[in-house]
Structure 1
Amino acid sequence: MKNHQRPLENVKVVELATFIAAPCCARFLADMGAEVTKVESFEGDPLRYTAVNEGRPAGEEENTSFDLENCNKISVSLNTKSPDGREALEKLIAGSDIFITNWRQSALERAGLDYEGLKKKYPSLIMGYVSGYGETGPDKDLPGFDFTAFYARGGILGTMFDKDHVPMNTIPGFGDQQVGMYLAAGVLAALYRARETGRGEKVTVSLFHTAIWDIAIMLQSSQYGHPSTQFPLSRKHLANPLNVAHKTRDGRWIQIAMPRYDYFYDRFMEILGVPELKGDNRFFPQARLQDNLEEFYEILEGRFATRDLNEWVQALKEADIPYAVAQTWNELLQDRQAWESNCFHEMAYPTGNSRTLVRSPVMFTETPLPEYNRGPYLGEQTRAVLEELGYSREQISAMIEAGAAQSRS
């Protein structure tokens, strides 16, 4: 009989964070069964108010971006600068196993929430910390978003585009989501040790370092100085044009992936319809290709332009050549593989609309898929959380009236 207990049941998490990366980590922990309490100011997480950026309706009733990062959590709204609000926060942290935050170091120190201070009071506490640029160095206190610390300074925006064109249009969350999942991995390792030894830990993941990690193969290769590694490049000069997307006759793009160039070369020439190029010493082996990159690219470009996308898909699939269609987001939302592998969840909203939301990518065999409950409304569970901390109903009402707490109900 399968054990359907979620891996992190009986683990308590307090999240004092905004936007995407740190809440993404806490969302994953919540999916795994942890009880995650999101502590928000009276204004709430700014991610609640980004509707215009995403072309969706304003308001809480249909907030797909907030739900993505905050499903399965509960929300308590506190004025942590007030004595009573701060006391409630301390009680929450004291009863938790993990504390997740993305406040800057100086703000944490001013608030007495830095790790050195917390570990004296809560020696087994795990602190998960998201930073823009890390905790040391001259720019450790700079504000960091994935647009800046990840894409730009992290070596993606300045390199990962065809030099004949402009840098890519970045999208929010691309780096943040990776940071969140990396942080979850570190936090869970630290939690395991804490359960074994009673010793807490601070786990830090930065946007900057994450980007550097993500581009590590080519970053390390670039130090040898070969022209094929000095990005940005023209796509005509990439060292392996069999790893490039090519345009079909009907104007679609198809990505091929043959990192073992020499292994695939002769077979692929047959598929392209140019068997006379098999073993051609201008293009094979790959070491000889480097002096003839542009000529070979133009051959590939011309051949791909002779067939429509569906024809190429059929040919590549039959030959077992790695490929994928460069899909639009609308196509991805209809992708049968994505639905049948449980990438998506259909969420019904009080507005009467049904929207497709994305599940976190970690799947278990012995544990069913987590429920996908919407993110909490601001302060939705404030009263319930404070009652669990031992406050009477009268005390809670007094806190709300005095401006130390805020409740939706």
Structure 2
Amino acid sequence: MSAMKRPLEGVKVIELATFVAGPCCARYLADLGAEVIKVESFQGDPLRFTAVNEGRPAGEAENTSYDLENANKTCICLNTKSKAGREAMEKLIASADIFITNWRQNALERSGLDYESLKERYPKLVFGIVSGYGEKGPDKDLPGFDFTAFFARGGVMGTMFDKDNLPMNVIAGFGDHQVGMNLSSGILAALYRARETGYGDKVVVSLFHSALWDVAIMLQSAQYGHPSTQYPISRKKIANPLQVAHKSKDDRWLQIAMPRYDFFYPKFMEVIGRTDLIGNPRYYPQSALQDNLEEFYEIIKESIAKEDISVWVEKLTVADLPFAVAKTWNELLVDEQAWASDCFHAMEYPTGATRTLVRPPVLFESTELPPYKRGPYLGEQTEDILVQLGYSKEQVKAMIEAGDAMPHKAQ
């Protein structure tokens, strides 16, 4: 069977968004075949200028962060505050199926780009918006990043660390990527309905709500008050020690995952060489274990510490028990499974470097892998897009001279 066309070919997306979550969503739609036009201010998306945070070269020649979120798009630079720039923005939206933004409500309303205004003119338009805390409630207008609205306010940073240690070092993009994929899910559903009925919708995804969804199992469990659910907690007191990472003799962390404690316990005792504990009423069944958690934790800790990680990998693999070695980022970059399953793409840059970039985590069996074209330079397609909107070359030149639009300026 020959490869089918990508599923969103013929769909047009206008993106007025910065940083990660909104652009991530639009990039995924571009991978699915949509035409995505990114609208940037003359200053550019701030993500273009975060090199110092990531230890990479400054400038546009090798911007892996920007490419990750903006591959397969084109870019137009407009002054949306000027009359002519705003008119061009209106023409772009009029030609689109989907509009994606992370502007806050007040800014959208001032520009006439809020959903209530747009749906009157374009009832079929699907409007996707990323926010920090949602569109309702006392904090709806607060600025939100994943460090704050997702990790901190969303119950991740304040709970998911060993009580005896400091909170985790959070990383950029972790919550944003989840928000972007959540938003794409809602947008695709709304697009389907728009095609069926002629009416679009506003799709709202927030960092805060996405974090609550991610921690939902434990958030719901916490209300029952059992000590094992009151995070942050000491790793020695987690209700199921077969869900905790333990350190090997060569200082590698081995994460085991055996949620059905009673089912896995006898087999795991065999693997770690403690068959003498099979059926021990202090540790089995799990209900009895709860009075002896720290004691049993120390038994597992001491057992795992007796062998190098390679020994545990072999033993657990043979026993068909669920586990993984905690990998570093440098190890992941050369992970055979990641490359074999098309998680990565090798991007060649004008600097002469080849860098590993991650693909969005949705693949299709009968559709070829999408291209991984670098993100557009600032204003790279400004003139071409304006011409496609019906402006003459003379009009485009006049807009550029008047400061209504900006073409790419080579660095």
Alignment correspondent of 1:177: 177
Answering whether residue 360 of structure 2 is matched by residue 360 of structure 1, we say yes
1:106-255 superposed matches below 5 A: 106-255=106-255
> Residue 2 of structure 1: CA displacement?
2.9
Amino acid at match of 1:40: E
1:3 positional shift:
4.5
DSSP 3-state at the match of 1:203: strand
Partner Cα separation in structure 1 for residue 132 and residue 363 of structure 2: 29
Query: What's the counterpart of residue 29 of structure 2?
Result: 29
Of the structure 1 ranges 1-10 and 217-226, higher mean CA displacement relative to structure 2 is found in 1-10
Residue 128 of structure 1 aligns to a residue whose secondary structure is strand
What is the rounded CA distance, in whole Å, between the counterparts of 2:3 and 2:279 in structure 1? Answer: 56
Mapping for residues 4-15 of structure 1, pairs under 5 Å = 4-15=4-15
> How far apart, CA to CA, are the structure 2 residues paired with 1:22 and 1:393?
31
In structure 1, the partner of 2:392 is 392
Amino acid at match of 1:152: A
Runs of 4+ in structure 1 deviating by more than 4 angstroms, as ranges, are none
For 1:66, give the aligned amino acid. Answer: Y
Q: Tell me how far 1:408 sits from its aligned partner.
A: 1.1
User: Unpaired segments of 5 or more residues in structure 2?
Assistant: none
Residue in 1 that maps onto 2:379: 379
CA RMSD of aligned residues (A): 0.6
Distance 2:39 2:207 in 1: 23
User: In the aligned structure 2, how far is the partner of 1:355 from the partner of 1:266?
Assistant: 45
On the 8 A contact 2:20/2:177 being kept in 1, the answer is: yes
Q: Which runs of 5+ in 1 are unaligned?
A: none
* Aligned position for 2:303: 303
Is the partner of 1:10 in helix, strand or coil? coil
Distance, in Å, in 2 between the alignment partners of 1:203 and 1:26 is 14
Deviations 1:57-111 (A, max 9, x none): 0000000000000000000000000000000000000000000000001111111
For 2:393 and 2:106, locate their aligned partners in 1 and report how far apart those are by CA, in whole Å.
Answer: 35
Q: Is the CA contact 2:255–2:324 (under 8 Å) kept in the aligned structure 1?
A: yes
Offset of residue 127 of structure 1: 0.3
SS across alignment from 1:13: strand
One-letter identity of the residue aligned with 2:356: T
Aligned partner of 1:351 in structure 2 is 351
Q: Quote the offset at 1:129 in angstroms.
A: 0.4
Q: Aligned with 1:318: secondary structure?
A: helix
Q: Name the SS for the 1:337 alignment partner.
A: helix
C-alpha contact (below 8 Å) 2:123/2:198 kept by paired residues: yes
Deviation at 1:12, TM superposition (A): 0.2
Is 2:46 the partner of 1:46?
yes
AA in 1 matched with 2:7: P
Aligned-residue sequence identity (percent) comes to 70
Q: Which amino acid aligns with 2:223?
A: Q
- Count matched residues: 409
Residues in 2 aligned to 1:63 and 1:339: alpha-carbon distance in whole angstroms? 21
Alpha-carbon separation, structure 2, partners of 1:376 and 1:4:
26
State the TM-score, normalized to the length of structure 2: 0.99
1:254 Cα shift?
0.7
TM-score with structure 1 setting the length:
1.00
- Write the distance in 1 (CA, Å) between the matches of 2:287 and 2:31: 48
Task: Give the drift of 1:4.
Answer: 2.3
CA contact (8 A) 2:39 2:76 kept: yes
Equivalent residue, structure 1, for 2:312: 312
Give the conservation status (yes or no) of the 8 Å contact 2:3–2:368. no
C-alpha separation in 2, matches of 1:251 and 1:5: 48
Task: Give the whole-Å Cα distance in 1 for the aligned partners of 2:361 and 2:36.
Answer: 19
- CA displacement, residues 304-352 of structure 1 (integer Å, 9 cap, x when unaligned): 0100000010000000010000000000011000000000000000000
